[in-house]
Amino acid sequence: MKTEIERKSSLVRLGFSYERGGVHTARTMMLVELRALLSYVDAPDATRADYLSAIQTANCLGKRSGKTRTLTFRHLADLYALDPSLLVFRALRFFWQRETDGQPMLASLCAYARDPLFRSTASFVLGCQEGAVISRDAMEDVIDAQEPGRFSPATLKSTAQNINSSWTQSGHLVGRASKVRIRSVSTPGAVSFALLLGYVSGLRGESLFKSDYTRMLDCSFEKMIELAEDASRRGWISLKRVGQVVEVLFPSLINAQEMEWVREQN
């Protein structure tokens, strides 16, 4: 049985992150910038250097200074890796290119896998009933409770604003000054990505549909199965279901080396 440290180390090789910091102390999940970048760099095998060049040299995001471009790249790379050698980003890009409607959820799932600060607020947001108001003060309390006194009042305020904005970009909240919990929109690609993240984390069978990742989807088991079956018909994943037995595989996404890492972990 692998220790938690060993398990996390295995997942880091696939693109997960457990760094103590977090982009959300400075920015949101940057959905607008991510969309612009992945539209500008449209080659699925583009390297991390290609994304850096697009932001810094070509200034595809329209930033005013070189320093801002450098920071923007750093934040996007922290959130999304921008490296096709890492499964998490490669899978994000795979589904991103295939459905526009799922992009907000795809981005939030990737941010969840890579930003511990954003991840730490998920239970609070996802546990709220539809129609519940989520204030900045309430989010500040959630963040501060994770590690009391870690942030100054000013940083705590801006971080709470950024995280509330990210949950709005992902489709889980709506509103400007006052954020209200709503049901997010899920798609075949978003469900597939959530299942993939659960699969490489060690889950199998029906447990794949009851993970922290699928909880982000805001939909029932039956709806997830329906969307996963759609993805399977499109050839994105492989889904087999016989009675209560469910098998999900990702032959077009996980390469041989990554599959070996997944087996080692389990």
| Residue pair 89/83 in contact by the 8 Å Cβ criterion | yes
Q: Does position 4 have pLDDT exceeding 80, yes or no?
A: no
HSE value, Cβ hemisphere, 13 Å, CA-based, for 113: 32
Q: Does position 2 have pLDDT exceeding 80, yes or no?
A: no
The dihedral of CA 161, 162, 163, 165: what is its sign? positive
Task: Report how far residue 107's alpha carbon sits from residue 92's, in angstroms, rounded to the nearest whole number.
Answer: 8
Which of 15-24, 61-70, 170-179 shows the lowest per-residue confidence on average (mean pLDDT)?
15-24
Which of 18-22, 76-80, 221-225, 247-251 shows the lowest per-residue confidence on average (mean pLDDT)?
18-22
| Residue pair 250/204 in contact by the 8 Å Cβ criterion | no
Domains of the chain: 4-100 (no CATH), 117-180 (no CATH), 188-265 (1.10.10)
Q: Does position 1 have pLDDT exceeding 60, yes or no?
A: no
**How much is the pLDDT for 176?**
87
pLDDT average, residue stretch 55-84: 96
Q: Does position 6 have pLDDT exceeding 80, yes or no?
A: no
**How much is the pLDDT for 178?**
85
**Structure confidence by residue, pLDDT tens digits, 117-174:** 999 999 999 999 999 999 999 999 999 999 899 999 999 999 999 999 999 999 999 9
Q: Does position 30 have pLDDT exceeding 70, yes or no?
A: yes
Confidence of residue 20 (pLDDT cuts 50, 70, 90): confident
pLDDT average, residue stretch 219-224: 95
| Residue pair 181/130 in contact by the 8 Å Cβ criterion | yes
**How much is the pLDDT for 10?**
85
Q: Does position 5 have pLDDT exceeding 80, yes or no?
A: no
Q: Any idea what the Cα angle at residue 254 is, between residues 248 and 257, rounded to 5°? A: 130
**How much is the pLDDT for 255?**
94
**How much is the pLDDT for 197?**
98
HSE value, Cβ hemisphere, 13 Å, CA-based, for 169: 23
| Residue pair 11/200 in contact by the 8 Å Cβ criterion | yes
